[in-house]
């Protein structure tokens, strides 16, 4: 069995006393079963519950203790494929739509939190995307001009401006407004609290062994000799679905390493405590936390084995710490407190898989692959809700499992 996280993950370690859900111990019937109790499954269940769809969510371990616990949880409209490159892959209209949907997803998260009257350490944050190589300044300028043309709230920073605001120097960068941060563990539990009020049932420590088609129903068999009859399944666990689809040609598994420092008293040289990302390594992120730490992740490599990932945590955490010290020489007492790694999937076009699959009738997939997974999970939950209710969504083709950009 693949272990998705290793080490001392931060989010579930700092949050105590959250509700535990029962194990499924009797046969059930419902309209939709959501498989996966991470951020994707919880968002999917929440949106279905708002339309009174009789839903059961199954989590094979504990809620939000898998990949979600390893997430840096940055909320950005920009994805790992820059807009000018995405236009070359998808065309201008579709590429802009992807960026706009990611932007809207941050507003949607804020609206969910307002409606359920919980905060989950959500904050609006600015973000800077740094040009790592002076030879690529023209590319960064082109990227900025495209974002500006399509009304993204951005500023172009030259080297001197960066040096005036930060304790580091880069040739240039794009400074974006209206991004955000969140505690994903708290958010998952908040979503399920809201969903359960709409009669969604949640079961932990309950895994799916297999499923079969019976007339107009699907029978899901679980590990504890119970079964659920349902009309539709939503796979919201990336790796369960990855194994089911058995298509490794378009999804590459990667391991990313993360570290959260001890709490800090000052953030000297870090302008507005904004989110930080570099063009050289778009998987390297820096963000603040609600309890005054720096959370950084990066130094991703191709997934080899769970054991390989685990034994590299200490070395990779040292690399992250050294990078932080170089970027922030005026922040005292940078020390690691939590160090971990997580496995994630990366697609060729940096987009997720959302929607139906021709080989699996009445099954839907909400697979927020790539580092923008939380924004993608919001988009996916909304698309799948529409597909289940109306068999239609205007954006479904963009993220479909057979889209042309993966051919």
- Cα–chain center distance at 133: 27
Residues facing 360 on adjacent strands:
357
Which bin fits 308, alpha (ψ -120 to 50), beta or left (φ > 0)?
alpha
The pTM score is 0.95
- In whole numbers, what is the pLDDT of the chain averaged over residues? 92
pLDDT at res. 4 = 65
pLDDT(406) > 80: no
Q: Output the CA–CA distances (angstroms, integers) from residue 333 to 29, 287, 325, 330, in the order listed.
A: 55, 17, 10, 10
Confidence of residue 106 (pLDDT cuts 50, 70, 90): very high
What residues contact residue 87 under an 8 Å CB cut-off, 6+ apart?
Answer: 95, 96, 146
pLDDT digits (tens, 9 = 90+) for 256-305: 999 999 999 999 999 999 999 999 887 799 999 999 999 999 998 888 77
The helix/strand/coil state of 378 is helix
pLDDT at res. 281 = 81
pLDDT digits (tens, 9 = 90+) for 324-349: 999 999 999 999 999 999 888 888 88
In terms of Cβ atoms closer than 10 Å to its own Cβ (0-12, 13-18, 19+), residue 134 is: exposed
């Amino acid at each position: 069995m693949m272990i998705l996280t290793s080490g001392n993950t931060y989010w579930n370690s700092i949050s105590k006393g959250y509700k535990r859900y029962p194990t499924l111990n009797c046969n059930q019937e419902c309209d939709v079963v959501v498989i996966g109790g991470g951020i994707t499954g919880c968002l999917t269940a929440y949106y279905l519950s708002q339309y009174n769809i009789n839903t059961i969510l199954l989590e094979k371990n504990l809620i939000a203790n898998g990949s979600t616990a390893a997430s840096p949880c940055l909320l950005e409209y920009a994805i790992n494929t820059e807009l000018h490159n995405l236009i070359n892959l998808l065309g201008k209209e579709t590429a802009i739509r992807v960026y706009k949907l990611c932007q809207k997803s941050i507003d949607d998260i804020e609206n969910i939190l307002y409606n359920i009257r919980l905060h989950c350490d959500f904050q609006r944050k600015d973000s800077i995307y740094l040009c790592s190589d002076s030879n690529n300044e023209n590319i960064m300028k082109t990227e900025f001009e495209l974002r500006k043309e399509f009304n993204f709230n951005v500023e172009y920073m030259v080297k001197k401006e960066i040096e005036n605001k930060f304790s580091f120097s880069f040739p240039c960068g794009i400074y974006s407004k209206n991004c955000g941060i969140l505690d994903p563990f708290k958010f998952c539990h908040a979503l399920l609290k809201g969903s359960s009020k709409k009669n969604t049932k949640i079961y932990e420590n309950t895994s799916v062994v297999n499923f079969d088609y019976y007339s107009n129903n699907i029978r899901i068999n679980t590990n504890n000799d119970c079964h659920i009859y349902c009309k539709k399944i939503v796979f919201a666990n990336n790796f369960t679905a990855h194994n089911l689809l058995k298509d490794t040609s378009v999804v590459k598994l990667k391991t990313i390493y993360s570290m959260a420092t001890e709490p800090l008293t000052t953030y000297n040289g870090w302008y507005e405590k904004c989110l930080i990302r570099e063009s050289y390594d778009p998987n390297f992120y820096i963000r603040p936390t609600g309890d005054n730490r720096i959370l950084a992740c990066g130094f991703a490599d191709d997934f080899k084995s769970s054991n390989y990932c685990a034994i590299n945590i200490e070395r990779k955490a040292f690399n992250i710490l050294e990078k932080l010290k170089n970027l922030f020489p005026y922040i005292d007492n940078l020390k690691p407190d939590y160090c971990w790694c997580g496995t994630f999937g990366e697609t060729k076009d940096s987009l997720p898989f959302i929607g139906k699959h021709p080989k699996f009738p009445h099954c839907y997939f909400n697979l927020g692959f790539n580092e923008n997974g939380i924004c993608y999970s919001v988009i996916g939950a909304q698309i799948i809700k529409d597909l289940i209710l109306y068999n239609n969504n205007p954006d479904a083709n963009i993220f479909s499992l057979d889209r042309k950009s993966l051919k």
